Structure 1
Amino acid sequence: PTDVLSFPMGDRVGDRLLLGDVVVSLDTARRRAEETGSPLERVVLNLLIHGIIHLLGYDHERGGEEERRFRELEEKLRAELGIR
């Protein structure tokens, strides 16, 4: 089942750039939390990070260098936010 969806916008409002929307399936996140023994909040935060990286234009499904960079950004954001 789908756990996170990203809907890019790329619109400007004044001097701000709206990247888009990220939608997390809480049902899927709950199941993943139960399966992995992770707190629900951590699972949701990881899904949000994943969705935001997609909004930045990266796509792990392309493989190769693109996937490597995607995973690198995920790890960097998790580390900066103190999420494991």
Structure 2
Amino acid sequence: MSDLVDTLIEADQWEKASLEELADLAAAATLTHLGMDPEAFEISLLGCDDARIAVLNTEFRGKPVPTNVLSWPSEERAAEDAGEAPELPAPDKSGMLVELGDIAIAYETCAREAADAGRPMRHHVLHLLCHGVLHLLGYDHIDEKDATLMEGTEVAILATLGVPDPY
């Protein structure tokens, strides 16, 4: 695998959950599904706990609570029209890796959500990482048309990883 995902683990539980492996799988599957070369891009990932993500969620979204995953694209990539796919970044002509952005994922929230939904933690984490990568690429789910596009794309990508439809 390339250096696609640069992972920093702050919460030890992520080591046991194989976050680095799951991140590489989800990111490569997402980019490959969209026709992008995973070898040309990089993503930074923070595997943290609920306390840390609550601080980030407060700072960046004004919501002082933990959440499952947060994404910060390196640049705005959203499509102009609702329901349209965003224009995807191209590889750098000089061969430098193109930075897509940063993702943070919180262990306790992910574990609780997986348990509540009766899903394997591995499947839930793959879904959330795929979701986060799509956000970095300009996908969103605020508008109903955008949500339909994003969720359909997630389902197709997750199928390539053997993960059933989470919706």
TM-score band by shorter chain is 0.7 to 0.9
List gaps (5 residues or longer) in structure 1. Answer: none
Q: What is the RMSD of the two structures over their aligned residues, measured on CA atoms?
A: 1.8
Q: Which runs of structure 2 are paired with 1:41-60 in the superposition (5 Å)?
A: 41-60=122-141
Letter in 1 for 2:151: R
Letter in 2 for 1:69: L
Q: What is the Cα deviation at residue 65 of structure 1?
A: 2.1
Letter in 2 for 1:23: A
User: Following superposition, which runs of at least 4 residues in structure 1 exceed 6 angstroms of deviation?
Assistant: none
Q: Which runs of structure 2 are paired with 1:45-84 in the superposition (5 Å)?
A: 45-61=126-142, 63-84=143-164
Residue 70 of structure 1 aligns to a residue whose secondary structure is helix
Are positions 1:32 and 2:113 aligned together?
A: yes
List gaps (5 residues or longer) in structure 2. Answer: 1-65, 76-91
Q: What is the Cα deviation at residue 14 of structure 1?
A: 4.1
Distance in 1, Cα, partners of 2:149 & 2:118: 28
Are positions 1:6 and 2:71 aligned together?
A: yes
Distance in 1, Cα, partners of 2:144 & 2:126: 25
Residue 101 of structure 2 aligns to a residue whose secondary structure is strand
- Tell which structure's C-alpha radius of gyration is larger: 2
Q: What is the Cα deviation at residue 49 of structure 1?
A: 0.8
Which has a greater percent of helix? Answer: 1
Letter in 2 for 1:19: L
Aligned residues: 82
Letter in 1 for 2:138: G
Distance in 2, Cα, partners of 1:16 & 1:43: 28
Distance in 2, Cα, partners of 1:57 & 1:67: 12
Letter in 1 for 2:69: V
Identify which of 99, 105, 115 aligns with 1:18. 99
Q: What is the Cα deviation at residue 79 of structure 1?
A: 1.2
Q: What is the Cα deviation at residue 59 of structure 1?
A: 0.9
